[in-house]
Amino acid sequence: MAIQELTPAQARQRQQQGVRLIDVREAHERVTGMAEGADGIDRATLEAAPQRHAPDRDAPLLLICQTGRRSMQTADALAALGYTALASVAGGTSAWQAEGLPTVLPDGDIDLDFHERYSRHLKLPEIGLAGQQRLADARVLVIGAGGLGSPAAYYLAAAGVGTLRIADDDVVDRSNLQRQILHAEDRIGLPKVASAATTLTGLNPRTRIEAVAERVTSANVDRLLEGVDVVLDGADNFPVRYLLNDACVLHGVPLVYGAVHRFEGQVSVFDAGRARGQRPCYRCLFPEPPPPEAAPNCSEVGVLGVLPGVIGLLQATEVLKLLLGLGEPLSGRLLQFDALRMQFRQIRLAPDPECPVCAEGRTFRGYIDYAAFCAAG
């Protein structure tokens, strides 16, 4: 049996004569508006149990989707099951709306804000409703609301990470504004975490900000990691990096590392805590920090303003992948970026079987507070 294709106006006319219209799109698509009077039953549900949703196989039935393709396919599937009076709306809801026919928002307790805000994620089958829910349930610890933490936290909040715990004991300085995009001119002198909370809540009020105006030390690192799924190191200084590394190995939390210097940056994922002996930690590369006198005084080193943006967003990308279980994490690889040459280079990192912290069977030796010699970038 050939399926009839109707224009939206024709379908509307039939509908007014009492013919039933079913919108076969997914619930998250219907929240942006559906043809007035239509019943929302997504295609999979309808095809799985058509007798339940449309018991009379000889009663005329109109189907509509977004563009007219899925409704046609659904009609084909129903015809094969013995339905005899099917029609599909050509051009779907898009055409229906374009022709100015009436639409309504679906009833029920569908969270319109959630579905609108994350619609571009929900359209990705790799994320979808389940993935977006996972992000909403996640808590990420962002160390530093500076050059790396700013772009990273900005996009993580936009993407829908449910809770961002941000730790930074610094205040906003005018020299920060060249790259630390969470802050603003009128917040100079305010705590960075307060400024960050203002910006992030303005962007996405659904994201909960846990502002911690503290420097990371051995005394508070366990507390900071409590209930955290992933740690993003945006502090870019040695004492914090080693402390976070050791704590993340101890607690089995992946650490997304980033660093910038002048025109170059690098990023990696250290996930030794969840895979001892299989993935490296930061100490597998550099067992101990350099002596303070050998390290540059970071507050005096320049950095190209966009560079932390590039590196911070690579870190945020890895955080999202880890939370969603997507793709291949940058674990066991160090990605280096050279802005002047516009080149990426990748170095393989192997776990060190003698690593003082993450080697298999190694017992935790306690935290070490190294002397601070490099302020947050």
311 vs 358, beta carbon nearer Zn ion? 358
Q: How far is the CB of 368 from Zn ion (least distance, A)?
A: 14
User: Which of 70, 115, 165, 283: binder of Zn ion (CB under 5 A)?
Assistant: 283
Of 21-29, 91-99, 115-123, 347-355, the window that binds Zn ion (rule: CB under 5 A) is: 347-355
Are the C-beta atoms of residues 8 and 42 closer than 8 Å to each other? no
Nearer to Zn ion, 250 or 298 (CB): 250
Interface residue with Zn ion among 313, 358, 374, 376 (CB under 5 A) is 358
Strand partners, 139: 163
Among the listed residues 225, 281, 304, 323, the single contact to Zn ion using CB under 5 A: 281
Clarify whether 284 is annotated catalytic.
no
Toward Zn ion, which CB reaches closer, 256 or 281?
Answer: 281
**Which residue is at the shortest CB distance from Zn ion?**
355
3 state DSSP class of 65: coil
Q: Phi, psi (5° rounding) for residue 308?
A: -60, -25
Q: How many CA atoms lie within 13 A of 362 on its CB side?
A: 19
For the bound state, the minimum distance from the C-beta of residue 138 to Zn ion, rounded and expressed in Å, comes to: 25
Site for Zn ion in 31-70 (CB under 5 A): none
- Residue 12 CA to residue 37 CA, distance in Å, equals 10
Q: Which is nearer to Zn ion, 121 or 279 (CB)?
A: 279
# chain residues binding Zn ion, by CB under 5 A: 5
Q: Which stretch binds Zn ion (CB under 5 A): 76-84, 106-114, 277-285, 333-341?
A: 277-285
DSSP summary character for residue 371: P
Rounded Cα–Cα distance for residues 125 and 193 (Å): 35
Where does the chain show beta strands of DSSP type E?
4-6, 20-23, 34-35, 39-40, 61-64, 86-89, 103-104, 139-143, 163-167, 208-212, 230-233, 255-261, 264-270, 333-338, 343-348
The interface with Zn ion within residues 312-341 (CB under 5 A) comprises none
Residue 332 C-beta: closest distance to Zn ion, Å: 12
| Token couple for 357 | 């912290």
247 binds Zn ion (CB under 5 A): no
The reply to whether 355 sits near Zn ion by the rule CB under 5 A is yes
Min CB(238)–Zn ion separation in Å: 16
Between 136 and 359, name the residue whose CB sits nearer to Zn ion. Answer: 359
Amino acid at 183: H
Instruction: In whole angstroms, give the CA distance from residue 64 to residue 39.
Output: 10
- Nearer residue to Zn ion within complex by CB, 68 or 332: 332
Beta bridge partners, 198, equal none
Q: Which residue stretch of 11-19, 32-40, 97-105, 357-365 sits at the interface with Zn ion (rule: CB under 5 A)?
A: 357-365
**To which residue do tokens 């993450």 refer?**
358
Angle formed by the axes of helices 192-203 and 149-159, to 10°?
A: 30
Contact region with Zn ion (CB under 5 A), list: 137-145, 281-289, 308-316, 362-370: 281-289
Q: Which residue is listed with tokens 């674990």?
A: 331
| Strand duo 86-89 + 4-6: pairing | parallel
Taking the complex as a whole, how short is the minimal distance between the CB of residue 294 and Zn ion, in angstroms?
22
Rounded to a whole number of angstroms, the minimum distance from the CB of residue 367 to Zn ion is 15
Catalytic residue (one of 248, 281, 298, 358): 298
**Local structure of residue 294 (DSSP, 8 states):** G
* Residue in the block written with tokens 């420097």: 215
Q: Look up residue 117 and give its two tokens.
A: 């805000």
Segment near Zn ion (CB under 5 A); pick from 1-9, 283-291, 300-308, 339-347: 283-291
The minimum distance between CB 360 and Zn ion, in angstroms, equals: 10
- CB 100: neighbour CB atoms within 10 A? 9
Choice between 156 and 358, CB closer to Zn ion: 358
Residues tagged active-site? 298
Where along the sequence are the contacts to Zn ion (CB under 5 A)?
281, 283-284, 355, 358
